[in-house]
Amino acid sequence: MGRKFFGTDGIRGRTNAGVMTAATAMRVGQAAGSYFRRGDHRHRVVIGKDTRLSGYMMESALVAGFTSVGMDVIMTGPLPTPAIALLTREMRADLGVMISASHNPFADNGIKLFGPDGFKLSDEAELAIEAAIEIDQPLAPSAEIGRARRIEDARGRYIHAVKQSVASDVRFDGLKVVVDCANGAAYQVAPSAIWELGADIVAIGVTPNGTNINDGVGSTSLDAVKAKVLEEGADIGIALDGDADRLIVVDEKGQTVDGDQIMALIATRMAERGDLRGGGVVATVMSNLGLERHLADRGMTLERAQVGDRYVLERMREGGFNVGGEQSGHMILLDYGTTGDGTVAALRVLAGLVRSGKPASELLHQFDPVPQLLKNVRYEAGAPLDADAVKAVIAEAEAELAGKGRLVIRKSGTEPLIRVMAEGDDGQQVERVVDRICDAVRTAS
Active-site pick, 54, 102, 192, 445: 102
Active site residue 412: no
What does each C-alpha distance from 76 to 97, 208, 344 come to in angstroms? 10, 17, 20
Burial class (CB in 10 A: 0-12, 13-18, 19+), 425: middle
Distance of CA 61 to the CA centre of its chain: 25
- The dihedral through the CA atoms of 250, 12, 80, 122 has a sign that is negative
Contact call for residues 137 and 69 (beta carbons, < 8 A): yes
Contact call for residues 163 and 351 (beta carbons, < 8 A): no
DSSP 378-414: E-SSS-GGGSHHHHHHHHHHHHHHTTTEEEEEEE-SS
- Rounded CA gap, 235 and 177, in Å? 6
Q: By C-alpha distance, which of 223, 86, 207, 237 is closest to 153?
A: 86
Contact call for residues 382 and 442 (beta carbons, < 8 A): no
Residues tagged active-site: 102
